[in-house]
Structure 1
Amino acid sequence: MSQADFEKAVDEVKILKVRPCRSELNHVYGLYKQSTVGDVPFERPGIFDFAGRVKWDAWIVKKGMTKEEATQAYIDLVEELKEKYGLDEVE
Protein backbone atom coordinates (compact mmCIF):
# COMPACT_ATOMS: atom_id res chain seq x y z
CA MET A 1 0.00 0.00 0.00
CA SER A 2 1.34 3.40 -0.96
CA GLN A 3 0.07 6.92 -1.37
CA ALA A 4 0.15 6.35 -5.13
CA ASP A 5 -2.12 3.29 -4.73
CA PHE A 6 -4.55 5.38 -2.69
CA GLU A 7 -4.56 8.23 -5.21
CA LYS A 8 -5.11 5.74 -8.04
CA ALA A 9 -8.10 4.28 -6.17
CA VAL A 10 -9.49 7.79 -5.61
CA ASP A 11 -9.30 8.43 -9.36
CA GLU A 12 -10.71 5.04 -10.33
CA VAL A 13 -13.78 5.21 -8.10
CA LYS A 14 -14.81 8.27 -10.11
CA ILE A 15 -14.86 6.37 -13.41
CA LEU A 16 -16.81 3.23 -12.55
CA LYS A 17 -19.17 2.18 -15.35
CA VAL A 18 -22.11 2.10 -12.94
CA ARG A 19 -22.68 4.40 -9.99
CA PRO A 20 -22.51 2.34 -6.79
CA CYS A 21 -25.55 2.20 -4.52
CA ARG A 22 -25.93 4.77 -1.75
CA SER A 23 -24.64 2.44 0.98
CA GLU A 24 -21.50 1.66 -1.06
CA LEU A 25 -20.93 5.37 -1.70
CA ASN A 26 -21.34 6.10 2.01
CA HIS A 27 -18.78 3.39 2.81
CA VAL A 28 -16.35 4.88 0.28
CA TYR A 29 -16.89 8.35 1.75
CA GLY A 30 -16.34 7.23 5.34
CA LEU A 31 -13.12 5.43 4.49
CA TYR A 32 -11.87 8.36 2.42
CA LYS A 33 -12.44 10.83 5.25
CA GLN A 34 -10.88 8.51 7.84
CA SER A 35 -7.88 8.05 5.53
CA THR A 36 -7.36 11.74 4.88
CA VAL A 37 -8.51 13.40 8.12
CA GLY A 38 -8.72 10.74 10.82
CA ASP A 39 -11.51 10.58 13.40
CA VAL A 40 -14.41 12.94 12.75
CA PRO A 41 -13.51 16.21 14.55
CA PHE A 42 -16.99 17.72 15.00
CA GLU A 43 -20.44 16.93 16.35
CA ARG A 44 -23.19 15.46 14.20
CA PRO A 45 -24.86 18.12 12.02
CA GLY A 46 -28.33 19.34 12.90
CA ILE A 47 -31.55 17.64 11.88
CA PHE A 48 -32.12 19.96 8.92
CA ASP A 49 -28.75 19.09 7.36
CA PHE A 50 -29.77 15.67 6.07
CA ALA A 51 -26.83 15.24 3.67
CA GLY A 52 -24.36 16.32 6.34
CA ARG A 53 -25.84 13.84 8.80
CA VAL A 54 -25.60 10.96 6.32
CA LYS A 55 -21.96 11.79 5.61
CA TRP A 56 -21.18 12.18 9.31
CA ASP A 57 -22.84 8.82 10.05
CA ALA A 58 -20.76 7.14 7.32
CA TRP A 59 -17.57 8.63 8.75
CA ILE A 60 -18.19 8.12 12.49
CA VAL A 61 -18.47 4.33 12.12
CA LYS A 62 -14.81 4.36 11.03
CA LYS A 63 -13.76 6.06 14.29
CA GLY A 64 -10.67 4.46 15.77
CA MET A 65 -9.30 3.11 12.49
CA THR A 66 -5.79 4.31 11.84
CA LYS A 67 -5.22 6.27 8.67
CA GLU A 68 -3.19 3.34 7.36
CA GLU A 69 -6.01 0.84 8.06
CA ALA A 70 -8.59 3.12 6.47
CA THR A 71 -6.38 3.71 3.44
CA GLN A 72 -5.92 -0.02 2.87
CA ALA A 73 -9.66 -0.64 3.40
CA TYR A 74 -10.42 2.13 0.88
CA ILE A 75 -8.10 0.61 -1.73
CA ASP A 76 -9.60 -2.85 -1.13
CA LEU A 77 -13.16 -1.52 -1.42
CA VAL A 78 -12.41 0.28 -4.68
CA GLU A 79 -10.92 -2.95 -6.06
CA GLU A 80 -14.17 -4.75 -5.17
CA LEU A 81 -16.23 -2.03 -6.82
CA LYS A 82 -14.07 -2.19 -9.95
CA GLU A 83 -14.69 -5.95 -10.17
CA LYS A 84 -18.42 -5.46 -9.60
CA TYR A 85 -19.01 -2.47 -11.90
CA GLY A 86 -15.97 -2.20 -14.19
CA LEU A 87 -14.24 0.99 -15.26
CA ASP A 88 -15.13 3.31 -18.11
CA GLU A 89 -12.44 3.62 -20.74
CA VAL A 90 -10.57 6.91 -20.43
CA GLU A 91 -9.16 8.41 -23.58
Structure 2
Amino acid sequence: MTDIDQQFAQAQADVTQLSERPGNLTLLRLYALFKQASIGDVEGDKPGFTDIAGKYKYEAWAALQGTPANDAKARYVELVESLKRGEVA
Protein backbone atom coordinates (compact mmCIF):
# COMPACT_ATOMS: atom_id res chain seq x y z
CA MET A 1 0.00 0.00 0.00
CA THR A 2 1.42 3.34 -1.03
CA ASP A 3 1.64 6.37 1.22
CA ILE A 4 -1.30 8.12 -0.50
CA ASP A 5 -3.39 4.95 -0.19
CA GLN A 6 -2.69 4.86 3.56
CA GLN A 7 -3.56 8.54 3.93
CA PHE A 8 -6.74 8.02 1.90
CA ALA A 9 -7.79 5.08 4.07
CA GLN A 10 -7.09 7.10 7.23
CA ALA A 11 -9.07 10.07 5.87
CA GLN A 12 -12.04 7.75 5.22
CA ALA A 13 -11.94 6.70 8.86
CA ASP A 14 -11.41 10.27 10.09
CA VAL A 15 -14.35 11.68 8.15
CA THR A 16 -16.74 9.47 10.14
CA GLN A 17 -15.38 10.91 13.39
CA LEU A 18 -15.85 14.60 12.62
CA SER A 19 -17.36 16.55 15.49
CA GLU A 20 -19.63 18.51 13.13
CA ARG A 21 -21.45 17.34 10.02
CA PRO A 22 -20.15 19.15 6.91
CA GLY A 23 -22.52 21.21 4.79
CA ASN A 24 -24.19 19.76 1.71
CA LEU A 25 -21.70 21.28 -0.76
CA THR A 26 -18.78 19.88 1.20
CA LEU A 27 -20.49 16.49 1.38
CA LEU A 28 -20.85 16.57 -2.41
CA ARG A 29 -17.14 17.37 -2.78
CA LEU A 30 -16.25 14.49 -0.46
CA TYR A 31 -18.54 12.13 -2.37
CA ALA A 32 -17.18 13.13 -5.77
CA LEU A 33 -13.54 12.92 -4.71
CA PHE A 34 -14.12 9.54 -3.07
CA LYS A 35 -15.83 8.12 -6.16
CA GLN A 36 -13.18 9.50 -8.52
CA ALA A 37 -10.41 8.13 -6.31
CA SER A 38 -11.92 4.69 -5.88
CA ILE A 39 -13.77 4.05 -9.17
CA GLY A 40 -12.51 6.58 -11.70
CA ASP A 41 -14.58 8.58 -14.16
CA VAL A 42 -18.33 8.72 -13.67
CA GLU A 43 -20.31 5.73 -14.92
CA GLY A 44 -23.90 5.19 -15.93
CA ASP A 45 -26.65 7.53 -17.01
CA LYS A 46 -27.34 10.83 -15.31
CA PRO A 47 -30.34 10.51 -12.95
CA GLY A 48 -33.55 12.19 -14.03
CA PHE A 49 -35.01 15.39 -12.63
CA THR A 50 -37.05 13.48 -10.04
CA ASP A 51 -33.86 12.24 -8.34
CA ILE A 52 -32.45 15.58 -7.20
CA ALA A 53 -29.80 14.18 -4.83
CA GLY A 54 -28.66 11.61 -7.39
CA LYS A 55 -28.44 14.30 -10.05
CA TYR A 56 -26.23 16.53 -7.87
CA LYS A 57 -24.00 13.60 -6.93
CA TYR A 58 -23.62 12.60 -10.56
CA GLU A 59 -22.79 16.16 -11.62
CA ALA A 60 -20.23 16.61 -8.82
CA TRP A 61 -18.52 13.36 -9.78
CA ALA A 62 -18.68 14.12 -13.52
CA ALA A 63 -16.95 17.47 -12.89
CA LEU A 64 -13.85 15.50 -11.85
CA GLN A 65 -13.71 13.45 -15.06
CA GLY A 66 -10.14 12.85 -16.12
CA THR A 67 -8.70 13.50 -12.66
CA PRO A 68 -6.12 10.80 -11.83
CA ALA A 69 -7.01 8.60 -8.84
CA ASN A 70 -3.98 9.68 -6.81
CA ASP A 71 -4.84 13.37 -7.34
CA ALA A 72 -8.41 12.73 -6.18
CA LYS A 73 -7.10 10.84 -3.14
CA ALA A 74 -4.75 13.70 -2.25
CA ARG A 75 -7.56 16.26 -2.60
CA TYR A 76 -9.85 14.08 -0.46
CA VAL A 77 -7.19 13.83 2.26
CA GLU A 78 -6.62 17.61 2.16
CA LEU A 79 -10.36 18.29 2.44
CA VAL A 80 -10.77 15.92 5.40
CA GLU A 81 -7.75 17.47 7.13
CA SER A 82 -9.23 20.95 6.70
CA LEU A 83 -12.55 19.69 8.10
CA LYS A 84 -10.74 18.26 11.11
CA ARG A 85 -9.18 21.67 11.71
CA GLY A 86 -12.60 23.30 11.40
CA GLU A 87 -11.64 25.31 8.31
CA VAL A 88 -14.48 24.09 6.06
CA ALA A 89 -18.09 23.54 6.98
Normalised TM-score (structure 2): 0.89
Match of 1:39 in 2: 41
The residue correspondences of 1:21-60 to structure 2 (distance < 5 A) are: 21-60=23-62
Match of 2:80 in 1: 78
Which of 4, 7, 10 aligns to 1:5? It is 7
Match of 1:62 in 2: 64
Q: How far apart, in 2, do the equivalents of 1:41 and 1:55 lie?
A: 12
Q: How far apart, in 2, do the equivalents of 1:82 and 1:57 lie?
A: 26
What is the one-letter code of the residue matched to 1:23? L
- Of residues 43-52 and 15-24 in structure 1, the stretch that sits farther from structure 2 once superposed is 43-52
- How many residue pairs get aligned? The number is 85
Normalised TM-score (structure 1): 0.87
The answer for unaligned runs of 5 or more in structure 1 is 86-91
Deviation at 1:43, TM superposition (A): 2.1
What is the DSSP-based 3-state SS (H/G/I as helix, E as strand, rest coil) of the residue aligned with 1:44? coil
Q: Confirm or deny: 8 A CA contact 2:28 2:60 kept in the other structure.
A: yes
Q: How far apart, in 2, do the equivalents of 1:77 and 1:62 lie?
A: 15
Q: How far apart, in 1, do the equivalents of 2:17 and 2:59 lie?
A: 25
Alpha-carbon displacement from aligned partner over 1:6-55 (angstroms, at most 9, x marks no partner): 11100111110000111111000000000000000122111111121111
What is the one-letter code of the residue matched to 2:52? F
Alpha-carbon displacement from aligned partner over 1:38-87 (angstroms, at most 9, x marks no partner): 000122111111121111011111111000110111111111111117xx
Q: How far apart, in 2, do the equivalents of 1:48 and 1:59 lie?
A: 19
